[in-house]
Amino acid sequence: MITIVPVVKPISQIRLAPGSLVTIPNVGWGEFESILQEMGEKRIARIAYSHNTLQIMVPLPEHEKPRDIISDIVKLLLKKTGRRYEPFGSTTFKKKNKAGVEPDACFYIQNYQKMIGCRRLTPDDPPPDLAIETDVTSKTTLDAYEAIAVPELWIYEYDKLSIYLLTEGSYIQTEISPTFPNIPLTQIIPTVVARSWQVGTVQAIEEFEEMMTQYISES
């Protein structure tokens, strides 16, 4: 009779190639917290946790450009429309015993004043007003954002921007961002990202800024 002995290795010893997505089912909340602690904060991998399922994602190097460009676009538009904000990057957001997620970028806009000086999130802190995901996005990721109740989620993948709004606890897809209602971002952002591969990021953002003068002056 052959006895099968399970091999247990720390998550931190798993080596994932860029673009990888690993799904681990039946992960309890305590296990999830332990895995987060083991993985540490200084890492490339991103996590999403919902319904006892943990996903670990390693982004492709080329996904960094869309993330940075979309973040720059948000900052530029907020500045031009006279609004202040607090960026929280890829902070880990959690809803105890329910969900955890790490956006590629996120912003506090309505609640920016409350988050000034915040170095570590507490259970009483609100979720970010806007979160951005690029590259790999799954049902687990969407479920996690719903549980954490992020009001607006942008997903950029396959050269397309999708905007999701939280409505009665679930996301609905829309063409217009309520944060920037007068700007057709689902059309413009893919064009700016594509342009950045042709002429460089700085010139693409400069062209976008010039284009936005028309939209903002009309708003």
Residue 40 within a domain: no
Q: Which residues of the chain have pLDDT under 50?
A: none
Q: Residue 137: its pLDDT value, please?
A: 77
Per-residue pLDDT tens over the stretch 174-202: 999 999 999 999 999 999 999 999 999 99
Residue 30 within a domain: no
Residue 142 within a domain: yes
Q: Residue 217: its pLDDT value, please?
A: 63
Q: Strands of 130-134's sheet, edge to edge?
A: 86-87, 105-108, 130-134, 152-157, 160-167, 170-174
Residue 37 within a domain: no
Q: Give the C-alpha separation, 219 to 211, whole Å.
A: 14
Residue 21 within a domain: no
Q: Which residues contact 216 (CB under 8 A, 6 or more apart)?
A: 77, 80, 81, 182
When divided into structural domains, the chain yields a total of 1
Residue 96 within a domain: yes
Q: What are φ and ψ of residue 157, in 5° steps?
A: -155, 155
* Contact between residue 138 and residue 157 where contact means Cβ atoms under 8 Å apart: no
Residue 102 within a domain: yes
Per-residue pLDDT tens over the stretch 101-117: 999 999 999 999 999 99
Structural domain including 111 reads: 61-218
Q: Residue 60: its pLDDT value, please?
A: 86
The enclosing domain of 159 has a CATH number of 3.90.1570
What is this structure's pTM?
0.90
- In DSSP terms, 152 is beta-bridged to 130, 165
Q: What is the 3-state secondary structure (H, E, C) of the chain?
A: CCCCCCCCCCHHHCCCCCCCEEEECCCCHHHHHHHHHHHCCCCCCEEEEECCEEEEECCCHHHHHHHHHHHHHHHHHHHHCCCCCEECCCCCEEECCCEEECCCEEEECCCHHHHCCCCCCCCCCCCCCEEEEECCCCHHHHHHHHHHCCCEEEEEECCEEEEEEEECCEEEEECCCCCCCCCCHHHHHHHHHHHHHHHCHHHHHHHHHHHHHHHHHHC
Burial of 20 (0-12, 13-18, 19+ CB in 10 A): middle
Residue 189 within a domain: yes
